[in-house]
Amino acid sequence: MDGNTIYKYMEFIIFSLYLLFVYLSAQMLFMWVDVDKIKLKSRIFEQGTFLRNSIIFVFLAGLFFIFHELVAETIPPNYLNIEFLELLTFVFIEVFMYKWYLNLKSCTPRKPAYEYILESCRNPDTKVVCSNSFLNKGILSRSALLLVFCLITLVLALFVPISSIFFVLLMGFLFIPPFLVLASTLIGASMITKELGLGKVNHL
Protein backbone atom coordinates (compact mmCIF):
# COMPACT_ATOMS: atom_id res chain seq x y z
CA MET A 1 0.00 0.00 0.00
CA ASP A 2 1.55 3.29 -1.13
CA GLY A 3 1.61 6.59 0.75
CA ASN A 4 -1.15 8.19 -1.30
CA THR A 5 -3.60 5.39 -0.49
CA ILE A 6 -2.82 5.61 3.22
CA TYR A 7 -3.25 9.38 3.08
CA LYS A 8 -6.68 9.04 1.45
CA TYR A 9 -7.79 6.55 4.10
CA MET A 10 -6.70 8.91 6.87
CA GLU A 11 -8.49 11.82 5.20
CA PHE A 12 -11.68 9.76 5.02
CA ILE A 13 -11.43 8.79 8.69
CA ILE A 14 -10.84 12.41 9.73
CA PHE A 15 -13.84 13.58 7.72
CA SER A 16 -15.98 10.82 9.25
CA LEU A 17 -14.87 11.88 12.73
CA TYR A 18 -15.86 15.45 11.95
CA LEU A 19 -19.33 14.32 10.88
CA LEU A 20 -19.60 12.46 14.18
CA PHE A 21 -18.52 15.71 15.86
CA VAL A 22 -21.47 17.49 14.33
CA TYR A 23 -23.88 14.76 15.43
CA LEU A 24 -22.64 14.67 19.02
CA SER A 25 -22.56 18.47 19.19
CA ALA A 26 -26.17 18.75 18.05
CA GLN A 27 -27.29 16.09 20.53
CA MET A 28 -25.45 17.75 23.41
CA LEU A 29 -26.90 21.12 22.49
CA PHE A 30 -30.44 19.72 22.51
CA MET A 31 -29.99 17.74 25.71
CA TRP A 32 -28.38 20.60 27.65
CA VAL A 33 -31.77 22.33 28.02
CA ASP A 34 -33.31 19.32 29.79
CA VAL A 35 -30.30 17.99 31.68
CA ASP A 36 -30.40 17.86 35.48
CA LYS A 37 -27.47 20.17 36.33
CA ILE A 38 -27.26 19.09 39.97
CA LYS A 39 -27.26 15.42 39.04
CA LEU A 40 -24.64 16.06 36.38
CA LYS A 41 -22.25 17.79 38.77
CA SER A 42 -22.68 15.17 41.46
CA ARG A 43 -22.14 12.37 38.95
CA ILE A 44 -18.91 13.95 37.71
CA PHE A 45 -17.59 14.44 41.23
CA GLU A 46 -18.56 10.93 42.27
CA GLN A 47 -16.92 9.40 39.21
CA GLY A 48 -13.32 10.38 39.73
CA THR A 49 -12.31 8.32 36.72
CA PHE A 50 -14.44 10.45 34.40
CA LEU A 51 -12.69 13.68 35.29
CA ARG A 52 -9.27 12.04 35.24
CA ASN A 53 -9.86 10.41 31.87
CA SER A 54 -11.23 13.66 30.44
CA ILE A 55 -8.09 15.51 31.48
CA ILE A 56 -5.95 12.81 29.90
CA PHE A 57 -7.90 12.90 26.64
CA VAL A 58 -7.68 16.67 26.31
CA PHE A 59 -4.00 16.66 27.28
CA LEU A 60 -3.19 14.05 24.63
CA ALA A 61 -5.27 15.83 22.01
CA GLY A 62 -3.48 19.11 22.72
CA LEU A 63 -0.10 17.37 22.74
CA PHE A 64 -0.66 15.71 19.37
CA PHE A 65 -1.99 18.96 17.95
CA ILE A 66 1.13 20.83 19.08
CA PHE A 67 3.29 18.11 17.52
CA HIS A 68 1.20 18.41 14.36
CA GLU A 69 1.88 22.13 14.11
CA LEU A 70 5.57 21.79 14.98
CA VAL A 71 6.09 19.08 12.39
CA ALA A 72 4.28 21.14 9.78
CA GLU A 73 6.36 24.26 10.49
CA THR A 74 9.83 23.10 11.51
CA ILE A 75 10.48 19.69 9.96
CA PRO A 76 10.69 19.05 6.20
CA PRO A 77 7.13 18.26 5.07
CA ASN A 78 6.00 14.67 5.47
CA TYR A 79 2.29 14.62 4.74
CA LEU A 80 1.76 11.16 6.24
CA ASN A 81 3.21 12.13 9.62
CA ILE A 82 1.26 15.40 9.64
CA GLU A 83 -1.98 13.66 8.72
CA PHE A 84 -1.43 10.92 11.30
CA LEU A 85 -0.92 13.48 14.09
CA GLU A 86 -4.07 15.29 12.98
CA LEU A 87 -5.96 11.99 13.06
CA LEU A 88 -4.79 11.25 16.61
CA THR A 89 -5.89 14.73 17.69
CA PHE A 90 -9.37 14.11 16.32
CA VAL A 91 -9.60 10.66 17.89
CA PHE A 92 -8.86 11.86 21.42
CA ILE A 93 -11.19 14.85 21.14
CA GLU A 94 -13.87 12.53 19.77
CA VAL A 95 -13.53 10.17 22.74
CA PHE A 96 -13.66 13.16 25.09
CA MET A 97 -16.85 14.43 23.46
CA TYR A 98 -18.45 11.00 23.52
CA LYS A 99 -17.79 10.63 27.26
CA TRP A 100 -19.48 13.96 27.88
CA TYR A 101 -22.37 12.95 25.65
CA LEU A 102 -22.95 9.76 27.66
CA ASN A 103 -22.89 11.70 30.92
CA LEU A 104 -25.37 14.27 29.63
CA LYS A 105 -27.66 11.56 28.32
CA SER A 106 -27.63 9.77 31.68
CA CYS A 107 -28.67 13.02 33.41
CA THR A 108 -31.50 13.83 31.02
CA PRO A 109 -34.90 12.80 32.44
CA ARG A 110 -36.54 12.24 29.07
CA LYS A 111 -35.53 10.78 25.77
CA PRO A 112 -33.85 12.93 23.10
CA ALA A 113 -36.04 14.14 20.25
CA TYR A 114 -34.58 11.76 17.68
CA GLU A 115 -35.75 8.77 19.76
CA TYR A 116 -39.32 10.05 19.65
CA ILE A 117 -39.01 10.53 15.89
CA LEU A 118 -37.65 7.00 15.41
CA GLU A 119 -40.39 5.57 17.60
CA SER A 120 -43.00 7.40 15.58
CA CYS A 121 -41.53 6.14 12.30
CA ARG A 122 -41.42 2.54 13.49
CA ASN A 123 -45.01 2.69 14.77
CA PRO A 124 -46.88 4.97 12.35
CA ASP A 125 -50.26 3.92 13.76
CA THR A 126 -49.26 4.82 17.29
CA LYS A 127 -49.40 8.40 18.43
CA VAL A 128 -46.41 9.34 20.53
CA VAL A 129 -47.54 11.52 23.40
CA CYS A 130 -45.04 13.43 25.50
CA SER A 131 -46.18 16.76 26.91
CA ASN A 132 -42.71 17.63 28.14
CA SER A 133 -40.84 16.43 25.06
CA PHE A 134 -38.55 18.41 22.84
CA LEU A 135 -41.12 18.39 20.06
CA ASN A 136 -43.70 20.21 22.19
CA LYS A 137 -41.19 22.85 23.22
CA GLY A 138 -40.78 24.31 19.77
CA ILE A 139 -38.76 22.30 17.32
CA LEU A 140 -38.59 25.19 14.88
CA SER A 141 -37.00 27.56 17.39
CA ARG A 142 -34.33 25.04 18.35
CA SER A 143 -33.64 24.16 14.73
CA ALA A 144 -33.19 27.84 13.99
CA LEU A 145 -30.88 28.14 17.00
CA LEU A 146 -28.77 25.22 15.77
CA LEU A 147 -28.58 26.70 12.26
CA VAL A 148 -27.44 30.08 13.59
CA PHE A 149 -24.93 28.37 15.86
CA CYS A 150 -23.40 26.42 12.95
CA LEU A 151 -23.22 29.52 10.75
CA ILE A 152 -21.54 31.57 13.48
CA THR A 153 -18.96 28.88 14.20
CA LEU A 154 -18.17 28.48 10.50
CA VAL A 155 -17.63 32.24 10.18
CA LEU A 156 -15.52 32.38 13.33
CA ALA A 157 -13.44 29.49 12.04
CA LEU A 158 -12.11 31.79 9.31
CA PHE A 159 -10.59 34.17 11.86
CA VAL A 160 -10.02 32.30 15.14
CA PRO A 161 -6.55 30.68 15.45
CA ILE A 162 -7.12 26.97 15.84
CA SER A 163 -4.43 26.76 18.52
CA SER A 164 -6.47 29.04 20.76
CA ILE A 165 -9.61 26.92 20.45
CA PHE A 166 -8.16 24.33 22.81
CA PHE A 167 -8.57 26.86 25.60
CA VAL A 168 -12.30 26.80 24.94
CA LEU A 169 -12.18 23.01 25.04
CA LEU A 170 -10.53 23.14 28.45
CA MET A 171 -13.38 25.36 29.66
CA GLY A 172 -15.61 22.31 29.27
CA PHE A 173 -14.08 20.95 32.47
CA LEU A 174 -15.97 23.69 34.32
CA PHE A 175 -19.16 21.73 33.67
CA ILE A 176 -20.26 23.90 30.77
CA PRO A 177 -20.92 21.41 27.93
CA PRO A 178 -21.94 24.17 25.45
CA PHE A 179 -18.26 25.13 25.48
CA LEU A 180 -17.51 21.60 24.27
CA VAL A 181 -19.98 22.02 21.44
CA LEU A 182 -18.43 25.34 20.43
CA ALA A 183 -14.89 24.03 20.67
CA SER A 184 -15.51 20.85 18.68
CA THR A 185 -17.36 22.70 15.93
CA LEU A 186 -14.67 25.38 15.73
CA ILE A 187 -11.88 22.82 15.58
CA GLY A 188 -13.54 20.85 12.81
CA ALA A 189 -14.58 23.93 10.86
CA SER A 190 -11.13 25.50 11.22
CA MET A 191 -9.39 22.40 9.91
CA ILE A 192 -11.79 22.15 6.98
CA THR A 193 -11.45 25.83 6.05
CA LYS A 194 -7.69 25.47 6.40
CA GLU A 195 -7.65 22.52 4.02
CA LEU A 196 -9.90 24.32 1.54
CA GLY A 197 -7.94 27.56 1.81
CA LEU A 198 -11.05 29.58 2.68
CA GLY A 199 -9.40 31.56 5.44
CA LYS A 200 -6.05 32.25 6.99
CA VAL A 201 -5.62 30.21 10.17
CA ASN A 202 -2.78 31.19 12.45
CA HIS A 203 -0.41 28.53 13.71
CA LEU A 204 1.29 28.12 17.06
Does 203 map to a domain? no
Q: What pLDDT is stored for residue 184 in this prediction? A: 55
Q: What pLDDT is stored for residue 123 in this prediction? A: 58
Does 201 map to a domain? no
User: Is it the case that residue 115 has pLDDT exceeding 70?
Assistant: no
Does 164 map to a domain? yes
Taking the CA atoms of residue 116, residue 122, residue 128 and residue 132 in that order, the dihedral angle to the nearest 10 degrees is -10
CA 1 to chain CA mean position, Å: 31
Q: What pLDDT is stored for residue 163 in this prediction? A: 45
Alpha helix segments (H runs only) across 33-78: 37-46, 48-74
Q: What is the mean pLDDT of the chain?
A: 65
What share of the chain has pLDDT > 70, as a percent? 49
Does 170 map to a domain? yes
Does 202 map to a domain? no
Does 91 map to a domain? yes
Does 186 map to a domain? yes
Q: pLDDT (tens digit, 9 = 90+) per residue, 137-189?
A: 445 555 555 566 555 555 555 554 444 454 445 444 444 445 555 555 555 55
- Confidence band of 99 (pLDDT split at 50, 70, 90): confident
**Helices then strands (H, E): number in the chain?**
8, 0
Does 20 map to a domain? yes
For residue 137, the 8-state DSSP code is: G
Considering its fold, how many domains does the chain have in total?
A: 1
For residue 76, the 8-state DSSP code is: P
Residue 63: CB atoms within 10 Å: 14
- Domain of residue 56 covers 3-196
Q: pLDDT (tens digit, 9 = 90+) per residue, 43-87?
A: 777 766 777 777 788 788 778 877 777 776 666 667 777 788 888
